[in-house]
């Protein structure tokens, strides 16, 4: 379901149907049938009353008799479309007037019914019209959501390096099986770029399956990816589909692949080479019909030299490498990114948000952004919540003064001085100080702090 949509609420509530007929007996009959089925029915004794109802609330369906005085059913339909009311419309005709019903369908009616009413036919026709309209509405919401979040329109830049990355991404999107490796610091938008490639390739919202290799325990990662059959190991009391199965026909996004254990790297390489996989505990081969996009903040080539990442897998996934520059190298993009995020917040928070002051922009462009675009968005959203119909000013920006001067924070190995007391100090205490300095330097980002100290994230976390 699309975040923020109300599709589930509408599907759980009874559908509303506006029934229009100038004959009281016929109107009462269809009203009674529809209420018995479970619909919320609003009867109207003519087209004019129907238009009044339509001006007051939304309906899931309109059912209108064809022949009515003053304004017939076709004229009512034309009037609705003239006012951009796209509610599904069913025309009702007397037996033998199919030609008029076909004419109504040419003008936008989705179906027709014949009098006298057959309850089963009525139920089927009404349900089909409502379900079809809801599917179209959901599809429109999906397209709007994708346009807002996962298209190149969302990736604004004047940075030459980022433009070059986007140009390559646009080209590789046309190649549905080519493996892509996205490199960049945490928060730079690697997953957004991966989704943009996926949706540009398929045009559909399904089939994008993301796995964070650093967030899943090593003992569970194989089952998470491959799936398992019942009895494969202790606790496997039923079959389970893995991410490989769920991604078939789409894209498998392996985030932080540098944290994948070596044994699993070997198995992933085999999947990529043979384009098949087997569930844990099964000998049955299944097709690996998906594109693989990987992402990491690590230097995989350096990991290969150190023996912590398989060289053959590195060459297999590094077919099309894409580098997403950190925000500190894209400071000229900040005004555009700010406008983009504020436009999102206007829609999501229902505020006018006139904009941001020049001094606030200057403060944003002078900051070092350890958290990259993710941090920029969070700071702007905080400011958007604080303000009320006024410009965002420097005092609204939640930027710590110490963080804003990274040179004030000592780096390991650079002017690094710790005074040892006469009675000595434990190695754990010194290590703790170094970890705190690294965290402060990286704005609390553990992955970046681990990279700064040249240790893996799991060791840093321990």
| Domain 7-139 and domain 329-396 have a common topology | no
- Tell me, what's the pLDDT at 418? 54
- Tell me, what's the pLDDT at 382? 92
User: In angstroms, rounded to a whole number, what is the distance separating the alpha carbons of residues 243 and 228?
Assistant: 11
User: In angstroms, rounded to a whole number, what is the distance separating the alpha carbons of residues 317 and 171?
Assistant: 17
Phi, psi at residue 375, to the nearest 5°? -70, -40
Non-local CB neighbours of 320 within 8 Å, separated by 6+ positions:
168, 172, 178, 179, 180, 181
- Tell me, what's the pLDDT at 349? 80
User: In angstroms, rounded to a whole number, what is the distance separating the alpha carbons of residues 151 and 196?
Assistant: 5
Non-local CB neighbours of 43 within 8 Å, separated by 6+ positions:
19, 21, 27, 28, 31
Is residue 201 a contact partner of residue 173, using CB atoms and an 8 Å limit?
A: yes
The pairing of strands 61-65 and 16-20 is: parallel
Is residue 22 a contact partner of residue 68, using CB atoms and an 8 Å limit?
A: yes
Domain ranges for the chain, please list them.
7-139, 150-325, 329-396, 408-461
- Tell me, what's the pLDDT at 97? 63
- Tell me, what's the pLDDT at 6? 43
- Tell me, what's the pLDDT at 4? 40
| Omega cis (within 30) before 188 | no
- DSSP letter for each residue of 220-264: HHHHHHHEE-TTSSTT--S-EE-HHHHTTTSEEEEETGGGS-HHH
Residues in a beta bridge with 241:
227
Q: Is 43 helix (H, G, I), strand (E, B) or coil?
A: strand
Ranges of the chain with pLDDT below 50: 1-11, 153, 401-416
Q: What is the pTM of this model?
A: 0.59
Tokens of 191: 């997953």
- Tell me, what's the pLDDT at 17? 95
CATH class of 150-325: alpha beta
Hey, what CATH topology would domain 7-139 get?
Rossmann fold (3.40.50)
- Tell me, what's the pLDDT at 402? 38
User: In angstroms, rounded to a whole number, what is the distance separating the alpha carbons of residues 122 and 34?
Assistant: 8
CATH class of 329-396: mainly alpha
Tokens of 204: 């559909």
């Amino acid at each position: 379901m699309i975040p923020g949509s109300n599709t589930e609420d509408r599907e759980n509530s009874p559908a509303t149907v506006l029934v229009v007929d100038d004959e009281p007996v016929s109107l009462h009959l269809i009203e009674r049938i529809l209420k018995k089925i479970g619909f919320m029915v609003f009867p109207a004794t003519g087209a004019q009353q129907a238009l009044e109802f339509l001006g007051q609330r939304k309906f899931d369906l309109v059912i209108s008799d064809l022949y009515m005085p003053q304004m017939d059913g076709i004229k009512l339909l034309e009037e609705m479309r003239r006012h951009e009311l796209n509610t599904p419309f069913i025309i009702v005709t007397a037996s033998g007037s199919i030609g008029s019903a076909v004419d109504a369908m040419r003008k936008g009616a989705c179906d027709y019914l014949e009098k006298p009413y057959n309850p089963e036919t009525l139920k089927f026709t009404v349900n089909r019209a409502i379900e079809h309209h809801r599917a179209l509405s959901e599809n429109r919401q999906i397209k709007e959501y994708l346009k807002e979040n996962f298209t190149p329109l969302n990736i604004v830049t004047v940075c030459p390096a980022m433009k070059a990355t986007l140009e390559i991404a646009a080209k590789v999107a046309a190649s549905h099986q080519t493996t892509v490796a996205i490199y960049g610091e945490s928060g730079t938008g690697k997953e957004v770029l991966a989704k943009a490639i996926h949706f540009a390739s398929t045009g559909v919202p399904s089939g994008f399956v993301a796995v964070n290799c650093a967030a899943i325990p090593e003992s569970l990662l194989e089952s998470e990816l491959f799936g398992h059959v019942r009895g494969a190991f202790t606790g496997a009391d039923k079959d389970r589909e893995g991410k490989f199965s769920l991604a078939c026909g789409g894209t498998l996004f392996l985030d932080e692949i540098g944290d994948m254990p070596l044994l699993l790297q070997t198995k992933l390489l085999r999947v990529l080479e043979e384009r098949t996989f087997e569930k844990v505990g099964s000998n049955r081969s299944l097709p690996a019909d998906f594109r693989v996009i990987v992402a990491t903040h690590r230097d995989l080539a350096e990991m290969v030299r150190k023996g912590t990442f398989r060289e053959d897998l590195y060459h297999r996934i590094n077919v099309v490498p894409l580098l997403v520059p950190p925000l500190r190298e894209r400071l000229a993009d900040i005004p555009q990114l700010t406008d983009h995020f504020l436009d999102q917040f206007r829609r999501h928070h229902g505020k006018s948000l006139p904009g941001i002051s020049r001094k606030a922009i200057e403060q944003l462009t002078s900051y070092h952004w350890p958290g990259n675009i993710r941090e920029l968005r969070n700071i702007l959203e905080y400011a958007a919540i604080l303000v009320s119909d006024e410009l965002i000013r420097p005092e609204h920006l939640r930027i710590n003064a110490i963080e804003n001067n990274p040179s004030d924070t000592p780096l390991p190995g650079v002017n690094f001085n710790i005074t040892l007391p006469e009675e000595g100090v434990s190695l754990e205490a010194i290590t703790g100080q170094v970890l705190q300095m690294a965290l402060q330097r990286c704005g609390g980002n553990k992955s970046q702090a681990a990279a700064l100290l040249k240790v893996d994230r799991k060791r840093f976390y321990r």
